[in-house]
């Protein structure tokens, strides 16, 4: 069956130059991690430019949540693919990554010379509550499309509870998808074979296996293969990434110290764009600019390949009642996880009356006047700079 929510907005032609400029802008201002990046993309592509419908955006978010790699970057790649095919896939993904990679490389150069990170406490003090406001606005907008009934609302609540008690995000999404499909099955009292469902993780597993078994000396080739393996198998946040990086570069290769690794993850957290640009920082420390380039390509390449292989399957999934129900469950599960992240970040961001004021005013401006998030981030950064 056809999904009545799907609009024709994705069929409109967009120039590659416009696509590149928009993603370059997002890659430059997208502070706050994946939840904030997704919120900014929803604002930019769904509400302002109407390049993609809210339902299509949610489907891409669900798919990105199910495959290894940085979910927000994969949403960017999905959107680029939906507008201009293979070329758009490359332009959208690369232009979202490049600004952060350049910034991280410059920071790495300073770090390698002086052994310390730049002081950005004041800027982050102002930006963090503004980012929470952006996430809250996106959650409100997306949930109105995603939660189409009481049962899906119940699944969202269960997903929040499961995550709160320590269930890993991938398992939470699997439970949400299975529960939604079970609801459809019982409602229609029928069975639909799952044999047509795609195995999203197969490409990632293959990439990871190949990278793991290939032996190479301690060189640029080994650096590239290490990050290719990590990009192909890692799910979750920058903190999950930390585990993989520590095992590879401290325990196995002995290329980094504990301090260098913690600083690398910190850089990925406080710079704009994908958190996975932590790889860029490590690559520079190990092998200079060539290392930064190869590390960046290695960790992001699996995401491009997985999106390219899974993107064409999305319309087919929506034609199956059972597959569509599973996707609906994964969508609300993804939003539930996004809400948990917003709560966790909010507790760390709102630390006094000033940050509370920034949060409240930013939320009001977004809800009432739909102010551009770039101006909001810039204003909050200035406030933080002057106050701190």
Distance separating alpha carbons of residues 227 and 35, to the nearest angstrom? 23
Cα three-residue angle 221-224-227, rounded to 5 degrees: 150
3-state SS class at 253: coil
DSSP 277: G
Number of Cβ atoms within 10 Å of the Cβ of 354: 16
Tokens at 118, concatenated: 């730049």
Distance separating alpha carbons of residues 303 and 309, to the nearest angstrom? 10
Per-residue pLDDT of the chain (388 residues; tens, 9 = 90+): 444 444 444 456 789 999 999 999 999 988 777 778 888 899 899 988 999 998 889 888 888 877 778 888 999 999 999 898 899 999 999 999 999 999 999 989 988 887 766 666 677 788 778 878 877 887 887 787 778 888 889 988 998 898 888 887 768 878 888 888 888 777 775 444 434 444 444 444 334 433 433 334 448 999 999 999 888 877 655 555 766 788 889 888 889 888 788 778 767 767 888 888 989 999 999 999 999 999 999 999 999 998 888 877 767 766 677 777 887 887 788 788 778 877 877 887 888 899 899 999 988 888 888 776 767 878 888 898 888 7
Tokens at 168, concatenated: 């890993």
Which is nearest to 74 in space by CA: 338, 305, 341?
305
Is the entire prediction scored with pTM above 0.75? no
DSSP 248: I
CA 87 centroid distance within chain = 21
């Amino acid at each position: 069956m056809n999904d009545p929510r799907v609009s024709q907005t994705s069929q409109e032609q967009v120039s590659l130059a416009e696509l590149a400029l928009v993603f370059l802008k997002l890659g430059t201002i997208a502070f706050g991690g994946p939840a904030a990046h997704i919120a900014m993309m929803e604002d930019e592509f769904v509400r302002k430019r109407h390049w993609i419908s809210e339902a299509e955006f949610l489907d891409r978010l669900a798919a990105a949540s199910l495959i290894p790699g940085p979910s927000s970057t994969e949403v960017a790649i999905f959107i680029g693919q939906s507008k201009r095919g293979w070329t758009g896939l490359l332009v959208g993904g690369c232009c979202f990554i490049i600004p952060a990679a350049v910034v991280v490389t410059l920071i790495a150069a300073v770090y390698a010379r002086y052994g310390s990170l730049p002081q950005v406490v004041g800027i982050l003090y102002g930006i963090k509550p503004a980012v929470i406001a952006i996430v809250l606005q996106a959650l409100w907008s997306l949930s109105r499309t995603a939660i189409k009934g009481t049962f899906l609302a119940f699944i969202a609540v269960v997903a929040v509870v499961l995550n709160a008690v320590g269930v890993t995000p991938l398992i939470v999404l699997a439970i949400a998808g299975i529960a939604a499909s079970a609801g459809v099955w019982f409602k229609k009292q029928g069975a639909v074979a799952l044999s047509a469902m795609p195995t999203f993780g197969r490409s990632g597993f293959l990439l990871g296996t190949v990278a793991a078994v290939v032996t190479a000396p301690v060189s640029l080739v080994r650096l590239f293969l290490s990050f290719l393996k990590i990009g192909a198998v890692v799910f979750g946040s920058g903190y999950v990434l930390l585990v993989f990086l520590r095992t590879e570069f401290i325990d196995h290769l002995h290329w980094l110290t504990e301090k260098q690794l913690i600083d690398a993850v910190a850089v990925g957290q406080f710079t704009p764009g994908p958190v996975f640009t932590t790889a860029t920082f490590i690559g520079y420390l190990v092998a200079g600019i060539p290392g930064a380039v190869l590390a960046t390509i290695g960790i992001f390449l699996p995401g491009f390949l997985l999106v390219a292989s899974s993107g064409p399957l999305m319309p087919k999934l929506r034609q199956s009642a059972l597959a569509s129900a599973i996707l609906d469950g994964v969508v609300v599960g993804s939003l539930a996880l996004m809400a948990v992240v917003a709560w966790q970040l909010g507790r760390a961001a709102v630390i006094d009356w000033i940050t509370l004021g920034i949060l409240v005013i930013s939320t009001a401006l977004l809800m009432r006047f739909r102010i551009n998030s770039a101006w909001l981030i810039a204003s909050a950064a200035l406030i933080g700079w002057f106050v701190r």
